[in-house]
Amino acid sequence: MPAPILRPDGSRHRGLRRETTMTSLQRWSLAALLALAIPAWGERVSPSYAVTDLGTWFPTGVNDSGWITGYDGDALLWTPSGGLQVLASCAGCSNRATAINNFGQITGFAYDASYFAYRAVVWQNGVRVDLGDLPSGNSASRGDAINVHGEVAGQAGGQYSNHPQYGNQGFNHAVRFAGAGDPIDLEDHPSGTMVSLGRGINDAGAVVGQRATTAGWRAIYWSAGDDAIDLGALWGVGGQGTESFAWDINCSGQAALQLPLSQGQSIAALWHPAQGFTQIGRLPGYTIGIARAVNDAGLVVGVSAAGSAQRAMAWTVADGLVDLNARLHPVLGAGWTFLDATAVSESGLIVGRAYSTTLGYRAVLLTPNECAGFVDVDGNDAFCASVAWLKSRGVTAGCGNGGYCPDAEVSRLAMAGFMQRLGTWMEGQAVLRSDAPGALDIATAPLLCATDPIPAKAAWRRATLDGLVSGSGGGASFVRARLMVSEDDGTSWRPVHAEGAQATFAPGAWRSVRNAGTHAIGPYKTLRYALRLDRGASTDPSALADSVCRLRVHVGNGLDPAP
């Protein structure tokens, strides 16, 4: 299967509030002339959604290209061009596809006859990769979420050995898979539990899910460094049955939750490590509210329920809580009742379960029918791609109140603003960071030349990196230099590339080690870069008697890099 096309996120931009003497035809033509890319949607709940019938199965994930995963006994994938296909087949087995990323990587679990158990897997380009299990495990594992790096959150079995509380019992723990091989046990500590499950993972590697306790399920947040925060305890979960659940996490660190109010009642909510809880609530007349998914633009989707009655809902800061049935297109959504939203893409595509008066219960895709978040430009308009390109690059913010005003005239003054913003987008950005740390113990301070945050923009960009460290060793110090990136202002760092450059800093001799490369920056990503020195082995000397560091970063002009 070819990798799907990545779309920019398309969130709103600040700009001129009024764009008023060019004719409407000239305005449309200008948009077409400047447009070079495909459209993207905004961070609000769309005022109009078209409904696509996917068939009788359960959808679990969707990416920006409209590729949708799910299951109906077997693991399934639906694509706009190829329709429905089976990813795994096993007579009498319930294989599942649970999530998909923007590179077309799919996770889930499939039955492995050689182990007589289910195994966490990733499918890509028609190939299935077994992600394995914990050491001394019972060979049962599952994948539930996948990030843009191909890291998977899920569950795997293992065996305690002389645990102070559980002795030698078997367990099933929340894990993070970083490719095939042994996963990272997120409960690998003395206070670990018997059962937990990873449900969501963001691009920084933070995981959310739930942990089984004597009082029921508790929502848990595991940081990229694997520290666990009991969100149920923070919220104040008390008695039996007052359970909390965490279902998803975005790249801003917002976790989508279901939190208890009292016995049998709950609300949807968000939690952020710095901002705490944001209550979303539930639709009027319902007792249960669940936030099932949240994208990077802050669009939350989920369900309100009361007994067997259900209504799909969405929430943003700008719109508040919305019944998605009130936003179905009068023609393209006629005859449908949207019951439960299960996943949302970065571009605002929503999947879930619905009921048709003629077809019964079905899986459906909801596609925003307005263009780029503008309520007065139809998503089917021939100029939609052009308008969306302007918005995603910050060239236009529309005319206010969610409108583009396509028939309004544009003054020469406003035109100057358009051209200036287009030029700003095309110029790119250069960053130079130098450190002169002098004597350095890289065992305790390996991170050098960390840049200040590079502001986000609304289009994909490519960063070119060139890092150089020079110095002399206090002893013969073998080091490896790696370019690093942080998406959370330096709280956590990950390598830009797996490989690194290496050198030996000899005593009294000045040596240099250099690492260079490129990195694709996604839309609305605020990043920092740094250069990291690591020792080759724990017995190597780590001190540099003198050292300097220089890191050059050039961020390109926003031309979309290939995925």
pLDDT of 461: 81
pLDDT of 538: 52
pLDDT of 272: 94
Say yes or no to pLDDT of 367 above 80: yes
Cα distances (angstroms) measured from residue 296 to each of 173, 227, 375, 516, 525? 27, 22, 21, 29, 9
| Burial class, 161, CB count within 10 angstroms (exposed 0-12 / middle 13-18 / buried 19+) | exposed
DSSP state letter for 67? -
Say yes or no to pLDDT of 520 above 90: no
Cβ atoms of 464 and 557 closer than 8 Å: no
Domain range 429-555, its CATH number among 2.60.200, 1.10.10, 1.10.3860, 2.60.120: 2.60.120
- Which structure tokens are listed for 556? 């390109």
Say yes or no to pLDDT of 116 above 80: no
- In sequence order, the β-bridge partners of residue 440 are 544
pLDDT of 547: 87
pLDDT of 191: 63
- Residue 145 contacts by C-beta under 8 Å, 6 or more apart in sequence? 98, 99, 107, 152, 153, 154, 198, 199, 200, 201, 207, 248
What span, in angstroms and rounded, lies between the C-alpha atoms of 494 and 251?
14
Say yes or no to pLDDT of 505 above 90: no
Between 134 and 202, where is the model more confident?
A: 202
Element (H, E) at 26: helix 24-34
Residue 524: pLDDT band by 50, 70, 90 thresholds?
confident
pLDDT of 539: 56
Q: Mean pLDDT: which of 124-138, 377-391, 483-497, 536-550 is highest?
A: 483-497
**How large is the average pLDDT for residues 315-328?**
93
- What is the three-class DSSP state of 447? strand
**What CATH number should be reported for the domain whose range is 43-371?**
2.130.10.10
pLDDT of 359: 95
CA angle at residue 11 from 9 to 17, to 5 degrees? 145
Residue 241: pLDDT band by 50, 70, 90 thresholds?
low
CA angle at residue 267 from 320 to 231, to 5 degrees? 110
Predicted TM-score (pTM) above 0.75: no
pLDDT of 33: 45
Percent of the chain with pLDDT over 70: 86
Cα distances (angstroms) measured from residue 235 to each of 254, 269, 270, 322, 323? 15, 11, 11, 24, 26
**How large is the average pLDDT for residues 383-389?**
85
Q: Mean pLDDT: which of 59-63, 369-373, 401-405, 512-516 is highest?
A: 59-63
What span, in angstroms and rounded, lies between the C-alpha atoms of 315 and 341?
12
pLDDT of 561: 40
Q: CB count, 10 Å around CB of 458?
A: 20
Q: CB count, 10 Å around CB of 349?
A: 24
- In sequence order, the β-bridge partners of residue 472 are 546
| Burial class, 289, CB count within 10 angstroms (exposed 0-12 / middle 13-18 / buried 19+) | buried
pLDDT of 167: 72
Say yes or no to pLDDT of 9 above 80: no
CA angle at residue 46 from 409 to 251, to 5 degrees? 110
Q: Is 520 left (phi over 0), alpha (psi -120 to 50) or beta?
A: beta
pLDDT of 73: 87
Report the b/e string of 313-329 with b at 16+ CB within 10 A: bbbbeebebbbbbebbb
pLDDT of 21: 41
CA contacts within 13 A on the Cβ side of 12: 23
Q: What phi and psi, each to the nearest 5 degrees, are found at residue 538?
A: -65, -20
Q: What phi and psi, each to the nearest 5 degrees, are found at residue 326?
A: -80, -5
Helix axes 384-392, 24-34, angle to 10 degrees: 70
DSSP state letter for 328? B
pLDDT of 323: 97
pLDDT of 264: 84
Mean pLDDT of the chain: 83
| Burial class, 83, CB count within 10 angstroms (exposed 0-12 / middle 13-18 / buried 19+) | exposed
Cβ atoms of 478 and 536 closer than 8 Å: yes
**How large is the average pLDDT for residues 161-182?**
78
pLDDT of 36: 35
**How large is the average pLDDT for residues 266-273?**
95
Say yes or no to pLDDT of 131 above 90: no
What span, in angstroms and rounded, lies between the C-alpha atoms of 186 and 174?
6
**How large is the average pLDDT for residues 106-119?**
84
- Which structure tokens are listed for 425? 């987008």
Say yes or no to pLDDT of 412 above 60: yes
**How large is the average pLDDT for residues 176-180?**
81
Say yes or no to pLDDT of 213 above 80: yes
Say yes or no to pLDDT of 324 above 60: yes
| 189-193, 218-222, 364-368: segment of lowest average pLDDT | 189-193
Residue with tokens 């309520």: 375
pLDDT of 16: 28
pLDDT of 137: 55
Q: Where are the domains of the chain?
A: 43-371, 429-555
Question: How far, in whole angstroms, is CA 311 from its chain's centroid?
Answer: 25
Residue 183: pLDDT band by 50, 70, 90 thresholds?
confident
pLDDT of 43: 62
Between 172 and 32, where is the model more confident?
A: 172
